[in-house]
Structure 1
Amino acid sequence: MTVKKIFCLLLISIFLFNCKKSYFKYTEKPEYITNPSIDTKPYFDAYDATLKIWDVPFEELYIPTTFGTAHVIVSGPESGEPLVLLHGMNASSTMWYPNIKDFTKEYRVYAIDFILEPGKSYILNDIESVDQISAWYHEIFSKLKLESFHIIGASRGGWLAVNLALQNQEQIKSMTLLSPAQTFIWIRPSTDLLKNIVLALSSQEKQIEQSLKSMSSNVDHINKTYLKQYYIGVEKDSINKFVMKMQPFSKRDFESLKMPVLVLIGDDDMINNDKTISMAKKLIPYGQGETIENAGHFLSVDQPEVVDQKILQFLESTKK
Structure 2
Amino acid sequence: MKFIKILSLFVVFIFFTNCEKEYMKYTEKPEYITQPSAEYKAYFEAYDEALSLWDIDYDELYIPTSYGTAHVVVSGPKNGEPLVLLHGMNASSTMWYPNAKALAAEYRVFAIDLIIEPGKSFKTAEFEKIDDISLWYQEVFNALQLESYHLVGASRGGWIAVNLALHNQEKIKSMVLLSPAQTFIWIRPSVGLLKNIVNIFSSQEKKTIRSLETMSTNVGNIEKKYLDQYLIATEKDSINKFMIKMTPFSKDDFQKLRMPVLVLIGDDDIINNEKTIRLAKEDIPRGEGEVISNAGHFLSIDQASTVNDRIVSFLIRVDEDQ
Q: Displacement, 1:204?
A: 1.6
- Provide the C-alpha distance between the structure 2 equivalents of 1:68 and 1:169, rounded to a whole number of angstroms: 24
Deviations 1:57-91 (A, max 9, x none): 00000000000000000000010000000000000
- Provide the C-alpha distance between the structure 1 equivalents of 2:252 and 2:112, rounded to a whole number of angstroms: 29
Alpha-carbon distance change, 202 to 106 in structure 1, aligned in 2, over 3 angstroms: same
SS at match of 1:117: coil
- Provide the C-alpha distance between the structure 1 equivalents of 2:287 and 2:236, rounded to a whole number of angstroms: 38
Match of 2:212 in 1: 212
SS at match of 2:289: strand
Alpha-carbon distance change, 181 to 224 in structure 1, aligned in 2, over 3 angstroms: same
- Stretch moving more, 240-249 or 288-297: 240-249
Match of 2:174 in 1: 174
- Provide the C-alpha distance between the structure 1 equivalents of 2:133 and 2:238, rounded to a whole number of angstroms: 18
Match of 1:260 in 2: 260
Deviations 1:249-294 (A, max 9, x none): 0000011110000000000000000000000001100000000000
Amino acid aligned to 2:57: P
Amino acid aligned to 2:283: L
TM-score by length of 2: 0.94
The yes-or-no answer on 1:269 pairing with 2:269 is yes
Contact 2:13 2:79 in 1 (8 A): no
Match of 1:278 in 2: 278
- Provide the C-alpha distance between the structure 2 equivalents of 1:280 and 1:39, rounded to a whole number of angstroms: 42
Match of 1:191 in 2: 191
- Provide the C-alpha distance between the structure 2 equivalents of 1:213 and 1:29, rounded to a whole number of angstroms: 36
Match of 2:6 in 1: none
- Provide the C-alpha distance between the structure 1 equivalents of 2:230 and 2:281, rounded to a whole number of angstroms: 33
What aligned pairs does 1:16-165 form with structure 2 within 5 A after superposition?
18-165=18-165
Deviations 1:7-58 (A, max 9, x none): xxxx999977644321000000000000000010000000011121211100
Deviations 1:219-275 (A, max 9, x none): 000011111010111112241211121000000001111000000000000000000
Match of 1:7 in 2: none
| CA-atom RMSD in angstroms | 1.6
- Provide the C-alpha distance between the structure 2 equivalents of 1:301 and 1:269, rounded to a whole number of angstroms: 13
Contact 2:23 2:61 in 1 (8 A): yes
- Provide the C-alpha distance between the structure 2 equivalents of 1:198 and 1:301, rounded to a whole number of angstroms: 25
- Provide the C-alpha distance between the structure 1 equivalents of 2:236 and 2:287, rounded to a whole number of angstroms: 38
What aligned pairs does 1:226-241 form with structure 2 within 5 A after superposition?
226-241=226-241
Match of 2:247 in 1: 247
The yes-or-no answer on 1:298 pairing with 2:304 is no
- Provide the C-alpha distance between the structure 2 equivalents of 1:25 and 1:68, rounded to a whole number of angstroms: 16
SS at match of 1:209: helix
Contact 2:17 2:78 in 1 (8 A): no
TM-score by length of 1: 0.94
Gaps spanning 5+ residues in structure 1: where? 1-10
Amino acid aligned to 1:194: L
- Stretch moving more, 228-237 or 275-284: 228-237
Q: Displacement, 1:208?
A: 0.8
- Provide the C-alpha distance between the structure 2 equivalents of 1:133 and 1:52, rounded to a whole number of angstroms: 28
Alpha-carbon distance change, 150 to 18 in structure 1, aligned in 2, over 3 angstroms: closer
Match of 2:5 in 1: none
- Stretch moving more, 238-247 or 182-191: 238-247
Deviations 1:89-146 (A, max 9, x none): 0000000000001001110000000001110000000111111111100000000000
Alpha-carbon distance change, 217 to 42 in structure 1, aligned in 2, over 3 angstroms: same
SS at match of 2:54: coil
- Provide the C-alpha distance between the structure 2 equivalents of 1:96 and 1:75, rounded to a whole number of angstroms: 12
- Stretch moving more, 190-199 or 259-268: 190-199
Structure having the higher Rg: 1
Question: Structure 1: which 4+ aligned runs deviate by more than 2 Å?
Answer: 11-20
- Provide the C-alpha distance between the structure 2 equivalents of 1:238 and 1:16, rounded to a whole number of angstroms: 35
Identity %: 65
